[in-house]
Amino acid sequence: KANRKFHPDDTVVDVSGVKIGGGNFAVMAGPCSVESEAQIVEVARRVQKSGASLLRGGAFKPRTSPYSFQGLRAEGLELLSKARAATGQPIVTELMSSEHIPLFLQEKVDMIQIGARNMQNFELLKAVGRTNVPVLLKRGLSATLEELVMSAEYIMAEGNPNVVLCERGIRTFETSMRNTLDLAAVPMLKKMTHLPVVIDPSHAAGIAFMVPSLAAAAVAVGADGLMIEVHNDPKNAKSDGAQSLTPDQFDELMDVIRPELEFFGKKL
């Protein structure tokens, strides 16, 4: 179902009115973790003003250490709903367990994120495949493109065709950055599948100063969108502060990619 051979036209995924793919470019921005109502509403307002079309924010967090902040969980989803009510932006947030699907449906999460660490959690993929909520499927830390496409296939095989793929950096021998951004994944995935492909330069680089140039590069290789971490106070963020842009820095990034999108004929 994901194979380009049998579906020559680009798929456009509609996330509560925001279109991704087929010439429609979407920017998802927001903090790594939802931390408080004041934080998420402030960031939502700022990124919307700069041109983001979706609000991201983690409520259930896949942290390397069990002693790190695990997210506000159900309360985090409620705060995302409040931010959505304030700005009207659809929300995208990570689902880590199928146990939480009823909660996600109850809060009307607009797009379900499957994180890199769960890309091959096949039962979880099947479970989101049985909903009709659009899915943002992130590439695993050391997954091949074929494996990523097969994971999309798991979701689609259960009846949910609304899948967006996300390249977020992979593990290589390089240690100076958190991950290595595989920009070549975009043209290759577009050859392999008809699904939209977005780039997350924040988790790829792990360092804020690189995010704007990698975002510009993502547009140039034909990505259908971006996921960017933005925090109102990166130094004191509960997760991923080092890679988070301030709202002002995000605003500058948008000023760089706007003319670029126009050049490539993409609609923001």
Residues contributing to the site for ligand PEP (CB under 6 A): 32, 58, 62, 115-117, 138, 168, 203
Residue placing its CB nearer to ligand PEP in the complex, 168 or 266: 168
Work out how close the CB of 83 gets to Mn ion at its nearest, in angstroms, rounded to a whole number. 17
Q: Which of 23, 28, 31, 30 is nearest to 241 (CA)?
A: 31
| Residues 13-52 contacting Mn ion, CB under 5 A | 32
Work out how close the CB of 10 gets to Mn ion at its nearest, in angstroms, rounded to a whole number. 28
Find the residue with minimal CB distance to ligand PEP: 115
Work out how close the CB of 164 gets to ligand PEP at its nearest, in angstroms, rounded to a whole number. 13
Angstrom distance (rounded) from CA 191 to CA 134: 22
Ramachandran area for residue 147 (φ above 0: left; ψ -120 to 50: alpha; else beta): alpha
Residue placing its CB nearer to Mn ion in the complex, 116 or 164: 116
The Cβ of residue 106 has, within 10 Å, a number of other Cβ atoms equal to 11
Angstrom distance (rounded) from CA 240 to CA 169: 15
For Mn ion (CB under 5 A), the number of binding residues is 2
Beta bridge partners of 196: none
Work out how close the CB of 138 gets to ligand PEP at its nearest, in angstroms, rounded to a whole number. 4
| Residues 236-265 contacting Mn ion, CB under 5 A | 240
Pairing state of beta strands 13-15 and 18-20? antiparallel
Among the listed ranges 122-130, 183-191, 207-215, 233-241, the one in contact with Mn ion (CB under 5 A) is: 233-241
Residue 159 binds which of Mn ion, ligand PEP, none (CB < 5-8 A, kind-dependent): none
Residue whose entry in the numeric block shows the structure tokens 């994944």: 185
**Contact characters 188-227, Mn ion, x per CB under 5 A:** ----------------------------------------
Work out how close the CB of 264 gets to Mn ion at its nearest, in angstroms, rounded to a whole number. 27
Whether the Cβ atoms of residue 167 and residue 144 lie closer than 8 Å to each other? no
Rule CB under 5 A: say whether 94 interacts with Mn ion: no
Whether the Cβ atoms of residue 116 and residue 90 lie closer than 8 Å to each other? no
Contacting residues for 51 by C-beta, under 8 A, at least 6 apart: 27, 254, 258, 268
* Residue ranges in contact with Mn ion by CB under 5 A: 32, 240
